[in-house]
Structure 1
Amino acid sequence: MDTTLSVSHRGAAYSLSLLPEATLALLHARLEELTNVPAAHQKLLYKGRKASHTGETTLREAGLKDGAKVTLLGATDEEIGGMHKVEDELHRKEHIMREREKRGTVKVRSTASSSVNTYIFHKIEPLSHLPNPTTARAVLARLAADPAIQHVMRLHEFRVGVLTELAPHEHPNLLGLNVNAGEAIKLRLRTNDYDGFRPYSEVRRVLCHELSHNVWGDHDNNFKELNSKLNREVAEFERAAKEGTHSLLGDGAFTYEPSSELEAEARAAYVLGGGASGAATPPRPDESPEERRRRVLDATMRRLRKEEEELEHSCGTHAH
């Protein structure tokens, strides 16, 4: 009699029928055909536990009975390649800056060139005991290299020792935590079932919230004023990026020029004025381009303030 398994992966459900004596290696091969997740990258969760058997273990020996529900974790080769590309870009930038610093010829179009290496995340650290640490590292690397985040860190002279993640099962009610005013910032990257990662834009918004805790510990008016300012600066930065090369400080101290695929991706992914569906706000016939930009920015800030009120209940920093 066949053993029928119900396997879920990223919201999709698959039903597989195999003999009880079939090996886990065969199960992995069948799942690779269905999901494009290579067998070497697959992790199976059964009854809340990670299967730790060898490929030669049979379904019967692994305790996989007829009707069992299994969760598949894992990324495709294409996804992992994209994540490696993001990490490689970050490492490439870091290497260039180190080499220029050694030669004493750091060339940055800013009145405070030393801030490039000072106001940064000094270390990124995924949780190695959770599934797909490579994916988590790529998300953290993307956040650390995000041009808008780097911009506000320079503006406010933020330093963060470690950028790491929160495990959903360890902190089920938290989305972010700032430890000792920037010693470490911890972010919830993963969905509750560990089967995927939360949207990048949401995680980045939590990061802005936690960066505000570098200055203010409680969620008082001082904190809210700074956090609103960070959100506005991120939005203005990306509006300027969308329009091309623009001076992003009032005194023209820093000029943003998209120069890499990573920055181009960030520019394309966050178009100011999009709602939940990403559709742009339609222009009014009687308003100038500058008036429309201001209206769109104000609408964005109202939405962010509402989301911030909800986020405060999921931030653990005030408790520390």
Structure 2
Amino acid sequence: MASLTVAHRGTNHAISVNAETDTIASVKQALEALTGVPVANQKLLHKSIRPNTNLDASTLTQVFGQTLPTEKILMVGSLPSDVSVIQRKDAVLDIRKARERTPTQPHPESSIKRAYTFGTVQPLPQFPDANKAKTLLIRLREDIGVIEVMRKHQWFVGTLTELHPAEKEILGFNRNMGAEISLRIRTDDLAGFRHYRTVVSVLMHELVHMVHSDHDDKFHALNRVLNKEYDEFSVGRSIGTDGRVDGSQAFSVEGEEEEGSLARYGYQGGSFLLGGSGAQATDDAAKREAMLAAAENRRLKKWEQDLVDACDGSKHSGTDGTHEPQ
């Protein structure tokens, strides 16, 4: 007997399997018993599992080869309770939308052809304000900062999609290093959309997974570089208002400070003399600057940890799933 490790909502589940006889369907049945997520609601993400294909009848050997993967497989799926809650909220929102019934012009697709961009954008059509969700995804694609970051690093992503809001812990994932990047753009109550700069931060995180699978020092270094580049490319350029697409109050990650983005990502420079003169003043300034740098470094590490904490797919190149900061 062999073992597969499947991660779901921050918990790893070890499943004993016979690679020659067990199928993807039997793995899903075992996962339903462990997690309560019905087989019909399950989606397994791994570099060996081709998207949009039904492999339920295939044995594990047929899918993974003679050697089963040692890294974790990510399972995305909603519990029946999640689905019922969303269905109730959908009904309420549908009533409100029927009352208002204000036509909204969809955002026009860009006709600009670029080598390094997102091929398509896909909102969730079953949710209210799907046109606004599409507008937000297009805004991300056409953001000058995002355009220049992807151009500089020569990255092309097949599809930018909206992540289902039932996955409350997951903020986003990058499947197969650029086949698809999915971002959770709606608030938990489904009443609006998340703070734009927060969504951009998650997007930068997922773009780092174009190169690095693990959240190691190289990952964090590139993540800081991308955020700095985004800020530099965006300075003085019009990318729209910094808030929700619908104009309501912006959502912020708990603990996020509404200050300059350079400070948020730990960039520092310059010296500060806070009074006094001579060697003592210089020493005091140096100590204070060191204390500020240490505090900034702690905040930076917390911000990064908030994005990578319990990242299900962080151990392999197939899929990364970024989880909601606790």
Hey, what does 1:309 align to over in structure 2? 305
Hey, what does 1:141 align to over in structure 2? 138
- Verify: 1:191 aligned to 2:172, yes or no: no
| 2:257 counterpart (276, 297, 313) | 276
Hey, what does 2:79 align to over in structure 1? none
Hey, what does 2:128 align to over in structure 1? 131
Deviations 1:125-180 (A, max 9, x none): 011122221111111000000100111101111110000011121x2211010000
Hey, what does 2:169 align to over in structure 1? 173
Q: CA deviation at 1:279?
A: 7.7
Instruction: Verify the 8 A CA contact 2:116 2:155 in the aligned structure 1.
Output: yes
Hey, what does 1:118 align to over in structure 2? 115
Hey, what does 1:203 align to over in structure 2? 199
1:263–1:133 Cα change, 3 Å: same
Hey, what does 1:151 align to over in structure 2? 148
Measure the CA separation in 1 of the matches of 2:138 and 2:186: 15
Higher RCO (CA 8 Å, separation ≥ 6 residues): 2
- Verify: 1:212 aligned to 2:208, yes or no: yes
Matches for 1:241-260 after TM superposition, within 5 Å: 241-242=235-236, 258=237
Q: What stretches of structure 1 of length at least 5 have no aligned partner?
A: 1-45, 54-69, 99-116, 243-257, 267-274, 288-297
Instruction: Verify the 8 A CA contact 2:90 2:128 in the aligned structure 1.
Output: no
Instruction: Verify the 8 A CA contact 1:178 1:213 in the aligned structure 2.
Output: yes
1:129–1:223 Cα change, 3 Å: same
- Write the letter of the residue equivalent to 1:164: T
Measure the CA separation in 2 of the matches of 1:307 and 1:141: 26
Instruction: Verify the 8 A CA contact 1:176 1:314 in the aligned structure 2.
Output: no
Identity of aligned residues (%): 34
Hey, what does 1:263 align to over in structure 2? 239
Q: For residue 195 of structure 1, give the secondary structure of its aligned residue in structure 2.
A: coil
Deviations 1:187-235 (A, max 9, x none): 0111112121111111110000000001111111221111111011112
Q: What stretches of structure 2 of length at least 5 have no aligned partner?
A: 1-83, 243-255, 264-269, 275-292, 320-326
Instruction: Verify the 8 A CA contact 1:174 1:314 in the aligned structure 2.
Output: no
Instruction: Verify the 8 A CA contact 1:212 1:227 in the aligned structure 2.
Output: yes
- Write the letter of the residue equivalent to 1:137: K
Q: CA deviation at 1:236?
A: 2.1
Q: For residue 218 of structure 2, give the secondary structure of its aligned residue in structure 1.
A: helix
Measure the CA separation in 2 of the matches of 1:316 and 1:144: 26
Instruction: Verify the 8 A CA contact 1:153 1:159 in the aligned structure 2.
Output: yes
Aligned positions, number: 198
Instruction: Verify the 8 A CA contact 1:124 1:164 in the aligned structure 2.
Output: yes
Hey, what does 1:163 align to over in structure 2? 160
Measure the CA separation in 2 of the matches of 1:210 and 1:190: 17
TM-score of the aligned structures, taking structure 2 as reference length: 0.50
| 2:225 counterpart (226, 229, 239) | 229
1:74–1:155 Cα change, 3 Å: farther
Tell me which protein shows more helix as a share of its residues: 1
Hey, what does 1:245 align to over in structure 2? none
